[in-house]
């Protein structure tokens, strides 16, 4: 499973060909905080409970292009990424989800520690 880390996503969002950001979190969470320009298809709870049909039924809502899937921590987004790939889409998961993205953007100690651990692997 391919995952993209927040610094790489930031670089790609600033490029001439940015990926589509698909935020699968519930609408309320998305409205509270989201990556600018992202698209919300709120299927997180369904995927978390094993209902993959909810995303399959809404694939037409995902804009064309390479997709980076975002959830809370990146775990449920992995399932969505797999479903998108099964449907023939190019997709990756945002490592750490929105928690990781916020940590990266805010320069938190927790994110810096996690980033160090990623480099050591």
Query: Considering the domain boundaries, does residue 61 fall inside one?
Result: yes
H or E segment to which residue 92 belongs? strand 91-94
Q: What is the number of structural domains in the chain?
A: 1
Is 66 a domain residue? yes
Is 67 among the domain residues? yes
The answer to whether residue 14 sits within a structural domain is yes
- pLDDT of res. 75: 93
pLDDT value of position 26: 98
pLDDT of 106 reads 80
Q: What is the CATH number of the domain that holds 53?
A: 3.40.250.10
Answer yes or no: is 87 within a domain.
yes
The tokens for 33 are 């905080």
Which ranges of the chain have pLDDT less than 70? 1, 118, 121
- Domain enclosing residue 14, as ranges: 3-110
- Tell me whether residue 115 is in a domain: no
Six token digits for residue 40:
């919300």
What is the DSSP track for 56-77? Answer: HTTGGGSPSS-EEEE-SSSHHH
């Amino acid at each position: 499973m391919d995952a993209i880390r927040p610094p790489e996503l930031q670089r790609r969002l600033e490029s001439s060909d940015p990926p589509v950001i698909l935020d699968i979190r519930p609408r309320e969470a998305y409205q509270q905080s989201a990556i600018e320009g992202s698209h919300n298809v709120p299927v997180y709870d369904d995927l978390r409970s094993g209902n993959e049909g909810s995303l399959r039924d809404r694939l037409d809502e995902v804009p064309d292009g390479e997709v980076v899937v975002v959830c809370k921590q990146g775990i449920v987004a992995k399932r969505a990424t797999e479903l998108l790939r099964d449907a023939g889409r190019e997709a990756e998961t945002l490592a750490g989800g929105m928690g990781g993205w916020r940590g990266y953007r805010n320069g938190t100690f927790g994110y810096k520690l996690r980033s160090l651990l990623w480099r050591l692997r």
